[in-house]
């Protein structure tokens, strides 16, 4: 039954992408050490992309899922060794808890099946190699501002 549910969820996700396309996934900045992740807050992401923060951050992006999205963050981090911090802000995507999963990954790692230990989402299983996950956990700190959408507060943390 779980496999069928996952297939239905994946199909629903593809339908949503087609019907409600999200214009921007990420914006590259001029910094190297800090990234901002706005979770499901697309308006916040676009606001950040037009702000002076882009001079200080390597990138600003969104995170909608507790699996593929986190795999992408891990891959980006290990391929950019100057990255030291991720500011996690914005509103969680209902039912996926991607921000909570990223924090759990950083704190707890993964089990032998690459499932994020302590993640609440329905499918927190990663495809990233365990060595990359270990490198990510050592390299990057996460600033937990989940739920915060106030640009001034986020800017103060980045500064």
Domain that holds residue 33: 25-158
DSSP class of 67: S
**Is 90 part of any domain?**
yes
**Is 9 part of any domain?**
no
**Is 51 part of any domain?**
yes
**Is 5 part of any domain?**
no
**Is 16 part of any domain?**
no
pLDDT at 52 over 90: yes
Res 3: pLDDT: 60
Res 159: pLDDT: 84
| Helix, strand, or coil (residue 72) | helix
| pLDDT tens figures, 60-78 | 999 998 999 999 999 999 9
* Total domains in the fold of the chain: 1
| pLDDT tens figures, 109-144 | 999 999 999 999 999 999 999 999 999 999 999 999
Percentage of the chain with pLDDT > 90? 77
Give CA–CA dist 159/155, Å, rounded.
Answer: 6
pTM for the full model?
Answer: 0.85
């Amino acid at each position: 039954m779980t496999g069928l549910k996952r297939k239905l969820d994946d199909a629903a996700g593809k339908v949503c992408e087609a019907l409600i396309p999200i214009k921007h996934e990420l914006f590259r900045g001029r910094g190297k050490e800090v990234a901002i992740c706005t979770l499901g807050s697309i308006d916040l992401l676009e606001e950040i992309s037009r702000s002076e923060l882009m001079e200080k951050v390597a990138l600003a992006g969104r995170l909608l899922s507790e699996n593929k999205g986190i795999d992408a963050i891990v891959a980006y981090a290990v391929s950019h060794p100057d990255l030291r911090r991720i500011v996690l802000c914005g509103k969680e995507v209902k039912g996926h808890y991607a921000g909570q999963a990223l924090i759990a990954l950083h704190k707890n790692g993964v089990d032998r099946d690459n499932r994020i230990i302590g993640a609440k989402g329905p499918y927190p299983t990663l495809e990233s190699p365990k060595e990359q996950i270990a490198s990510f956990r050592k390299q990057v700190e996460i600033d937990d501002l989940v739920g915060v959408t106030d640009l001034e507060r986020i800017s103060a943390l980045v500064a």
